[in-house]
A and B are shown apart, each in its own frame.
Chain A
């Protein structure tokens, strides 16, 4: 079943700073509540496979999604629920993919965080880290071939992903081609259980940007205001022809690698430090401090997000699962070249 992504969203951060901050906070809140629901469904045994949460990464992620506009390209990674929502992905897409609904964008063929609408600029990630950056480059190069100007690509990656050959090849490739790519690195201090000390030996990951001849900035990933400013600035520089950019955000992952992981290896001192702050609470504090919202407003937003998530889950739980007897078991677009691929009456496509 072919659907299309509702037109993204946000057209960048426009309007007043208050509006931008408020909008970002509400998307973070929606992402957090949606993630919590997935965790709960996982514990109830309602989800096939793993569940991977963005807890702690919402400020950085939402900043990526909000900095982009229609025509741009976004390659999110596993903890980018907030950024996906900001880029325009409906709540239903996430729920349908996690629950394996036949009506979802991946139709039960792929699950959980592996979803997207590539034609609309939302690239569906594969599990191999760093691999989506060069795909983003390809979309941007195609835009150049087609004369589409001033589009930007944001590719998310983690601290562990920066150790891959794919990361190196792709960032270097973008630098050589001077593509409008922004690589947003979420340094949440642990790649699964491996700490930074066993991942890289440079003082800061930002030193890598210098090695590729590109610009970059660091940001406190727990601070929504800082994330909106820094990611927005880097996206603007790329859009204006400044070439690839790298954002290095530091914060702590406030959950396990997946919901199967209790993250017992996380250093308690780190949890108690500034990088262990919950970005959602920090953003909430910023709203209250600036008198952009009060407690009753925050509660109303929370209930609204909760309702949206519950409605989506209730709807998807009534949707059909993929039917193996109606599946079109054909891996090629060129059907005439696919062996053993008989047409199926009423096939789910």
Chain B
């Protein structure tokens, strides 16, 4: 049996619906049609009345989720593309994210954002918005990179008493496969050592973990041992695991598919510089997408975001420093 990242997301939702009557799914085309990416295929039939099509109203979708959460429900909101979540931005960052602070009530909402670039996606179907949401207090922001994490972290997201922005990478939907669903999992908030090494720490998350692993493999043939840390969760950010890795390697390269200004890679470097400056043998480096909207044509797109090739080049430079 082979399970894709997308299957894992569907199975996690099926399990959440089966085990918890407070869970329901609300989003565009998620009902009988099964969602634009088929992440809810069959669920409306299996769980009648609990998988609801929404009008094209992202703001109202999230507002409704907050009201339902106040009443003790645990809504899962599918935003068709992460890019469209900006329409719901106000409800996410001002309503959902502030509710607990203001009122002491939990606000358990899982917001699924199909994110990241795919060939031909263009400016409005490619965005990675984890840094944007991580900036706001009151939100948990998850970026699973593996089939196992897609499953276990989505289940944990639904069980958490806070709004969770669940960034699932569209490129991984079909490209990533596992033999089976996990039976145990690392908790949310812990980073994972995806590959051990002693010469450099390569921090990545979401789809970039796989680019990073490819680079580590490639550079191994050149005699460099790269340690790869998969953040898994960008908020909270597991600084301890990153700093411990830098303590072993003395070098840090952080890679993210999102835009460069501020953001996750900048945060990682700021923390390492602040908490582990003396551990660094070379200036910490980062690699992000270019600071333009995401382009449409595959030639441009491949040059816009970090790839194994550009990461390898940055890694070689850092190893020479």
Contact = CB atoms under 8 A, between A and B. Distances in A.
Contacts of A157: none
Interface string B43-61: 0000000100011011111
A118 B103 contact: yes
Contact of A170 (B60, B68, B90, B162): B60
B42 interface: no
B102 interface: yes
A119 B100 CA distance: 12
Contacts of A338: 236
B236 A337 contact: yes
Interface in A92-141: 105-106, 109-110, 114, 116-119, 123-124, 126, 128, 131-141
Interface of A: 2, 105-106, 109-110, 114, 116-119, 123-124, 126, 128, 131-143, 145-146, 165-166, 169-170, 172-173, 176, 331-334, 336-339, 349
B107 interface: yes
B162 A332 contact: yes
B72 A331 contact: no
A305 B237 CA distance: 53
Contacts of B68: 138-139, 141-142, 145
Given A331-B138, A333-B161, A337-B188, A138 B70 contact: yes
Given A137-B60, A173-B64, A337-B188, 15 more contacts: A106-B102, A106-B103, A131-B94, A134-B57, A138-B64, A142-B72, A145-B73, A146-B72, A170-B60, A173-B60, A176-B55, A333-B106, A333-B161, A337-B189, A338-B236
B162 A173 contact: no
A303 B66 CA distance: 41
B90 A118 contact: no
Chain A to chain B: the 9 pairs with minimum beta-carbon distance, closest first:
A138-B67, A134-B63, A142-B71, A169-B57, A169-B60, A333-B161, A138-B64, A331-B137, A134-B60
Contacts of A332: 100, 138, 140, 162
Contacts of A126: 94-95, 98
25 contacts: A106-B103, A109-B102, A117-B103, A118-B103, A119-B70, A124-B102, A126-B98, A133-B63, A134-B64, A134-B91, A135-B67, A135-B70, A138-B70, A139-B67, A142-B67, A145-B24, A146-B71, A165-B87, A169-B63, A172-B60, A331-B98, A332-B140, A337-B162, A339-B237, A349-B104
A134 to B, nearest CB: 3
The CB with the most chain A CB atoms within 10 A, among B61, B64, B66, is that of B64
B189 A131 contact: no
B6 to A, nearest CB: 26
A126 B100 CA distance: 13
Interface of B: 24, 50, 54-55, 57-73, 75, 87, 90-91, 94-95, 97-107, 137-138, 140, 160-162, 188-189, 235-237
Contacts of A140: 67
Given A128-B94, A143-B71, A170 B105 contact: no
Given A135-B64, A138-B69, A166-B60, A331 B103 contact: no
Given A124-B102, A169-B60, A331 B69 contact: no
Given A331-B100, A331-B101, A333-B106, A136 B67 contact: yes
B71 A135 contact: no
Contacts of A143: 71
A172 B60 CA distance: 9
A136 B55 CA distance: 17
